[in-house]
Structure 1
Amino acid sequence: MNGYQVTFFTQQDRRHHGKPLADWLVHLAGELGLRGATVIPACEGIGHHHRIHSAHFFELADQPLSVVMAMTSEEADRLFDRLRADGVHLFYVKTPVEFGVIGDDNGNGNGNAAKS
């Protein structure tokens, strides 16, 4: 299946509607029926204001996070429409990709690739 990989970049202390923004994005993906979302923590990053963000031993509030999702073009349109409607301010990268599932639900990798 063809579509997009969308990666959002945020940090641990960013919030939306009182909830951590990364968590809110994951729940939004579920609400919109997307195939999934993965939150990836990073050790360090530099933001659009050229300030270093990093996870420290005692304080993780500034820790950079990526939220990665794969979706069809129609799903991407629905997601971005919702983000605009909710007034979310967030940096993202949207890349054309082919995606699917290989193997069956029992973990068997034999057979043809079953694209979703």
Structure 2
Amino acid sequence: MKGIHLRVYTYENSRHEGKPLYEWLLHKAMESGIPGGSVFRALAGFGRHGTLREERFFELAGTEPVLVEFVAPRAQIEAFLDLLRQQDVQVFYAMIEAEFGIVSAGSESPR
């Protein structure tokens, strides 16, 4: 299948509706019918504000960057981004064209 690889960048301590934002994003994606999502915590990173955030210092615990990823058909990803806009979620994201599928016994390779 062809679709979109959506990457959403946030911080571990970011919250929305009383939940960690990454958790909120996963739940809303599930409710939207997106077939799967994953969250990855970074060791370090910086964003548009130029602040370097690292896991090294105890006093900065929870400020590390977090990446939330989804792969789904374009229409589902666009509907999900519309939902984020409606909910006033402010995050940086990247959309990457993707080809995806499931590898199993007897499945054919994409050509």
Higher relative contact order at CA 8 Å, sep ≥6: structure 1 or structure 2?
Answer: 2
3-state SS in 2 of match to 1:101: coil
The 5 Å alignment of 1:5-24 reads: 5-24=5-24
Q: Which residue of 1 aligns with 2:62?
A: 61
Pairwise CA distance, 1:114: 8.6
In 2: Cα distance, 1:4 partner to 1:14 partner: 25
Unaligned runs of 5+ in 1: 104-109
Task: Report runs of 4+ in structure 1 exceeding 2 Å deviation.
Answer: 56-60
1:112 and 2:82 are equivalent in the alignment: no
3-state SS in 1 of match to 2:30: helix
Listed one character per residue, the Cα deviations across residues 4-46 of structure 1 (whole Å, up to 9, x for unaligned) are 0000011111111111111111111111111111001110001
Q: Which residue of 1 aligns with 2:2?
A: 2
- Aligned CA RMSD, in angstroms, stands at 1.7
1:79 and 2:80 are equivalent in the alignment: yes
In 2: Cα distance, 1:87 partner to 1:77 partner: 15
The 5 Å alignment of 1:5-44 reads: 5-44=5-44
Q: Is the 8 A contact 1:101 1:113 kept in 2?
A: no
- TM-score when normalising by structure 2: 0.91
- Matched to 1:97, the amino acid is A
Q: How many residues align?
A: 109
In 2: Cα distance, 1:63 partner to 1:113 partner: 40
Identity of aligned residues (%): 32
In 2: Cα distance, 1:10 partner to 1:77 partner: 19
In 2: Cα distance, 1:29 partner to 1:113 partner: 29
Listed one character per residue, the Cα deviations across residues 88-108 of structure 1 (whole Å, up to 9, x for unaligned) are 1100010000011111xxxxx
Listed one character per residue, the Cα deviations across residues 51-94 of structure 1 (whole Å, up to 9, x for unaligned) are 00122363531111100100101101210110111011100010
- TM-score when normalising by structure 1: 0.87
